[in-house]
Amino acid sequence: MFTDVSGFTNLTESLSKLGNEGPELTAFVINRYMELLVKAISQSGGDILKFAGDAMIVVWPPSYKTDIVQVHEDLRLTCRMALQNALDIQNKLNDTCILPDLKLSVKIGFGIGDINIIYVGGVYNRSEYLATGEPLLQAFQSEHCATKGGETIISKEVYEFVKDYFTFETINHDNKQFYLVKKLNAYSKVKLKAEATLIKNSIILNPKILQQLAMFVPAALKPYMEIGLERWGSELRRVTTMFINLSIDLSDAKTDSGLQRIQNVIRTVQYCVYTFEGSLNKLLMDDKGSTCIAVFGLPPVSHQNDPVRAIQSAFLLESELKKIKCKVAIGISTGIAYCGVVGTSGSRREYSVLGDCVNLAARLMQIATQPFSPCILIDQQSASDAQTKIQSIFWSERKVKGKEKGVLIYEPLCLQEDFKKIKDINTHLEFRVMNTQSMGSVTNLNTIVSSKSLQCHNNLSSTIVFDKYHINCREYDEELQPVGRKQEINQIKDFIQKFLDEFKKNKYVQNRLVLIQGEYGIGKSFLAKTVLKNIESLQNKEALLEIMISSLNPSSRSKLLNSIRIFLRNIFLSYAQRLNKAANVELIQQIYECDSHLANLISQVLSLTVNDIKANTIREDLTLAKSIKKFVYKLISLYLEQEQLQAQIQNEDQIQEYYSQALIILIDDMQDSDDGSLYLLKSILKNFKNILVVGCIRNQFKEFSFFDNNNHKSECQSEFLSKMIAKQTNKLTINLKGLKQDDQLSELFEKHFKIKSFICMEEDQKNQEQTMFARRKRTSSIDDIYEMVEILKKIRDPLMFWESKPELEEMDFNSLCINYLYVRTCGHPLKMIYLMKHLLDNHYIILDEQRNLGMASKKFRQLIKHEEWLDVDAPLMTVQINGPYIDKLTAVQQLILKQACVIGDIFDIQTLNYVNPFKDFIRQKPLINELNALYELGILDIMNMEIENIYYRFSYSFFRETIYQRMTYAQRRQAHKNVALALQKIPQPFDYHNNKEYTRMQYHWTQAQNRNSVIIDEGTLLPRLTLFEKKQLIIKKIKQILDQNRRNVLLKSGYINKRSEKGLQWNWRFCVISSEYLIVSQEDDNPEHILTIYLKHIQLIEREFNSEYFALTITTSQWSRGKQVFENYRKVYFALETEDELNEWITYLEFAKAYAIYMDFVNNFGRIQFPLSSNEYDFQLESELQRDNRRIARLGLIDTNIGFEKIQVRHTKATTSRATMQRKHKPRKSSLFAEGYRGSTSSSQQNTSLCKQIIQLIQNSRKDKIYQNQN
């Protein structure tokens, strides 16, 4: 039986409107519907053979009897049970609503006969299984005949078995007869038996079977299955999905040659996908062909450039499958998808990807199969993400199923550095551009291809910028100049210009080196190409300068001589063009006399042949470099047009030092260059002149390969690179850091987003203007002017920004926005651009194009107020940076960080232990050890250490948000609920503001609600909390008020309906609850008290419900009117309009009553600890912390001679005043601070006290091993 859920596309489209939660809800709906299907199927003995997204293949295993007649009768009975079960499914599950307004049905097709299961693939010990045979063809064809959900259709072969027991309607399709099952005939019902030959779970006890099954289990799920937490392997991830249509189908499985063809095709697909470290998620085969689903970005092989890898894999698939005569059509899409377990809660499930981007990739694949369509099509997001490495061109705008609007479709053409192919497709590109501009349906194109981008060597302006805020493409040499880099640009330009001036004068100049260092995305390549573009435009008339660019991509990075081979290839092709000869092995032997083996090796290095060579050992690249060094010398000599050629180079270190042109080499991602490339580059710089090398080096978050386990390789490269740099005397080093504040950030906002200033929305302008007017009026004195200057100075230090934020809100909203965004991004320009685009797209900031203003909405002001950005998508580049590093962590470490990120930027181990849902697996000691490991990895920093607690923070910008946004919404809500409960019981000393804990608690209770339990009103979340949750918030609020230790504190006030003493009428009265009394007055401004109730004498608080009002009755034994006190019992009746108000007042009264009784006890007998003021630390965790040697070593209290590891605590580089750090309240959260900030300092008094306590503790436990610290 083949079942296909009808309505799945509409379901996905509808849920995609809900944002990132849509894919998770899609998985939820499919799981629940599949659960109902499987439950019904199992009643008749069926079993799931394979899931296929929203479809599945079900089998009824045959009888093992030997009597042919009995086997035939058993098969007939099985068919009757299966069809009877299918009709029951259609009756019960047709138009089923899992979610409101979303109906699902199922189409069912049946076939009968012998099936085979074949195992294909085997690359990297990964196999796929396929079910083949005539029954599958029958079932697929039958299901295709169904026109709507709710229909069950069978093949003619099945019909022959059951024609006497059901009523049918004949359907003719493709010259074949099929039968629509209408109903079960009278007296034909059979008893269903769930006696299928199911796969027993006990087989996993056999190690051999378990080992064989392991090759079918996705690597993303294995770590979680090993620790028994499979459901936590489900995540919301940004992935690139590739659908591959192959020209093999079930008919190929009927012969041995066909089976071998299937094996060859699948192995080729595996090789092409795994070469670029993707994951082959699913393989499906039916009567119309085969479909493979490959995903790039799944753990543990996620990368910073997964869209590039997917497109390069598609290029390789196209070329490799063409060799074995297999047609292919590929669709690629990038977006957020649910990546996790799909299926039933029992033992029938699979790891799958679901989401709008997955459906879009499938639609693009279908378009690619149409005549006259390119075989590879990608969506706009993939084209945008891969634009720095892949040349793409707009192809068409199409309306696809599941999308209301047309989809912009692009065709990837080639790699940016593949100059030979770029030259060949020049005419093709121009033809496409003309066709695109003539299409009337496409009015907003973001791609304009210039002829400059197709030049052979100077690939300096080929990056296409996809930006909705810029209708036209902006090239490097025009408007998109690097912002805030004028000083660096001038330094590099002057350095290069001196090099060129000296060359023009003497025709001889010493080689020079320019190093541009910085973290990922800081703008190194952008800066280098901008400068070289400018230099090229000034020098091209004299033809004295050649510029070569070497930029690594996922394919070239793994090849031998990775960075130098692109440079050598360009020189060789240019020299061949100059001689008007073919670039082949013969030209290589003409340039340098060598044997055919070395010539073929050189041709592979120059990518003249199809087979590329890759390194298998660490020194292969260095050996190859030494073997071709003489050829490289000869080629460069000829290319640079040496005037006096030597007949034979006897000494390779003595080469004629006179040339007719200079050469500039730009090496991007120089940190990834292998030893052979660096060796040849060093030799070229040593033996040739008139060469200037510009190297862009990433000094943080380097790219790595999953299949490369040579950890010492990167160390060797770094050592080789450091030696080469150290030996170079004429060099310029530029260290790029984040932009400075004020003018540079203002320039960035104005240039990229046309925003000159930030203001509040129009509805708040009046209040804003009044506040500003009052402020200007107050700052008329010289003292106030000095005050504002001092505040603006302080906020330039990120550590001081949070202290100055309240004052800055009153003074200058524009400065507040700019500096707040600066603190969030550390001045990183690309992070700032991505973040601003998201804020504009989601209407946190509204662009006023007429006035060039950015109007901050209420949502954005709430972000600034509450400082919680978990729901704001992290900038794309931070996801690209942090994602692969998160996936390199162990499953346990990731689970710990997922709980910690919900607590806050700063979290403590006691709260983390309290909210830990994995206590059965991650106990106190493992928790401490894993946090120590994360600290040593640099992911966490230590803010403060106490005897019973440690406070951590996330080290890197947006690391917390990246982890959080991978969690499913169900996981997030449960974690927020746990944190809200923890905030009630565990003190949070870093929340220095009086109302901060209450605000945080309210935030967590709000986030713990389902989508339908939250009202969104102009950006403000209004939670529909339960009574328990509201009580928790009220208690936290009262506790904060009472912590101020004031007598008779005001807790709550408001108007309530009160019944007169005689019960004749109801009147509105103003009531006040303090810590001692309930006071009732006529008006809020009337000091005369009608009634005063002593809270400690309240006997009973009751509630009463009726159709008119919500009543509250208070019985008290002591009360007063005016100055007269009464000690008799009295009932006082109140009424409120809503149940929420009634519950709120009762909670305040109950708490105030308990507190009043407690204070009365204290006054009479002495003070005891009030229950709410006590923390609920885990004492077992405290003991483990005290025994933690590493923790004590960080404090410097253990001598290293004892044998314990001494670890240095990372302290802050940010400067701050002593007075600030010695405040009563501890430092603010700081994961958003500048990169230099790596920890926190405490006051000397606190450190001394803490040290004394720990020393005493150590003395008691280890008197013979203690090093006495005399601090």
Single-letter residue type at 487: Q
pLDDT one-digit tens code per residue, 153-180: 999 999 999 999 999 999 998 888 999 9
Three-class secondary structure of residue 1070 per DSSP? strand
Residues near 1026 by beta carbon (within 8 Å), at least 6 away in sequence: none
* Residue 1152 confidence class, pLDDT cut points 50, 70, 90: confident
691 three-class SS: strand
Place of tokens 């006082």: 1132
Pairwise CA distance, residues 421 & 441, whole Å: 30
Can you give the pLDDT at residue 795? 46
- Asked whether the predicted pLDDT for residue 1250 surpasses 80, the reply is no
> What sign does the CA torsion over 229, 234, 236, 239 have?
positive
Give yes or no for a contact between 570 and 548, defined as CB atoms under 8 angstroms apart: yes
Q: Quick one: pLDDT at residue 1230?
A: 33
**Predicted pLDDT of residue 715:** 42
Averaged confidence pLDDT in the chain:
76
- In the numeric block, which tokens belong to residue 348? 């029938």
Percent of residues, the chain, with pLDDT higher than 70: 75
Directed axis angle between helix 8-16 and helix 21-42, to 10°? Answer: 150
SS3 289: strand
**Helices 924-936 + 891-903 axis angle, to 10:** 90
Distance CA 212, CA 433 (A): 53
> What does the pLDDT average to over 128-147?
89
d(CA 1079, CA 1089): 7
- Let me know: does 522 contact 736? Beta carbons within 8 Å: yes
Span of 244-248, 265-269, 591-595 with lowest mean pLDDT: 591-595
Lowest pLDDT segment from 908-917, 1006-1015, 1212-1221: 1212-1221
Tens digit of pLDDT for each residue in 308-366? 999 999 999 999 999 999 999 999 999 999 999 887 766 678 888 988 899 899 999 99
Rounded mean pLDDT of 282-303? 87
Going by pLDDT thresholds of 50, 70 and 90, the confidence category of residue 778 is: very low
Q: Which residues is 393 bridged to in the sheet?
A: 411
Tens of pLDDT, residues 1230-1240: 333 333 333 33
Residue (of 237, 236, 317, 328) closest to 273 by Cα position: 317
Residue 875 to residues 856, 870, 892, 959, 964, Cα–Cα distance (Å): 19, 12, 26, 11, 13
Element (H, E) at 363: helix 356-368
Q: How close are the terminal C-alpha atoms of the chain, in Å?
A: 78
- Helix segments in 628-667, DSSP class H: 629-639
Residue 35's pLDDT is 83
The Cα–Cα gap between 546 and 664 comes to: 6
Q: Is the pLDDT of residue 182 over 60?
A: yes
- By the 8 A CB rule, do 985 and 1001 touch? no
Q: What is the reported pTM?
A: 0.79
Residue 530 Cα distances to 80, 488, 661, 726, angstroms: 74, 11, 22, 26
CB within 8 A of 1029, min separation 6: which ones? Answer: 980, 1005, 1008, 1023
Specify the pLDDT at position 418.
54
Pairwise CA distance, residues 639 & 646, whole Å: 15
Residue 738 pLDDT exceeds 70: yes
How many Å apart are CA 355 and CA 361, to the nearest integer?
10
Chain position carrying tokens 């330039």: 796
Tokens at residue 112, please?
A: 């009968």
Q: Cα separation of 652 and 648, whole Å? A: 10
Q: Kindly report which listed range (394-403, 681-690, 761-770, 1105-1114) carries the lowest average pLDDT score.
A: 761-770
Q: Residue 424: exposed, middle, or buried by beta-carbon count in 10 A (0-12, 13-18, 19+)?
A: exposed
Q: What residue ranges in 277-373 does DSSP mark as E strands?
A: 279-286, 289-296, 328-343, 349-354
Q: What's the number of CA atoms in the CB half-sphere (13 Å) around residue 665?
A: 26
Domains for the chain: give ranges and CATH numbers. 1-216 (3.30.70.1230), 486-735 (3.40.50.300), 743-866 (no CATH), 1035-1173 (2.30.29.30), 1189-1261 (no CATH)
Verify cis geometry, omega within 30 degrees of 0, for the bond prior to 300. yes
Share of the chain above pLDDT 90, in %: 17
Asked if 525 and 517 count as a contact pair (C-beta separation under 8 A), the reply is no
Candidate from 61-70, 276-285, 462-471, 1134-1143 with smallest mean pLDDT? 462-471
pLDDT single digits (tens) 1171-1211: 544 567 777 887 888 777 665 565 554 443 333 333 334 33
Q: 2-6, 254-258, 789-793, 1015-1019: which range is least confident on average?
A: 1015-1019
* 540 Cβ contact partners less than 8 Å away, ≥ 6 residues apart: none
Q: Which two tokens stand for residue 991?
A: 């929340």
| Contact present, 257 and 239 (Cβ < 8 Å) | no
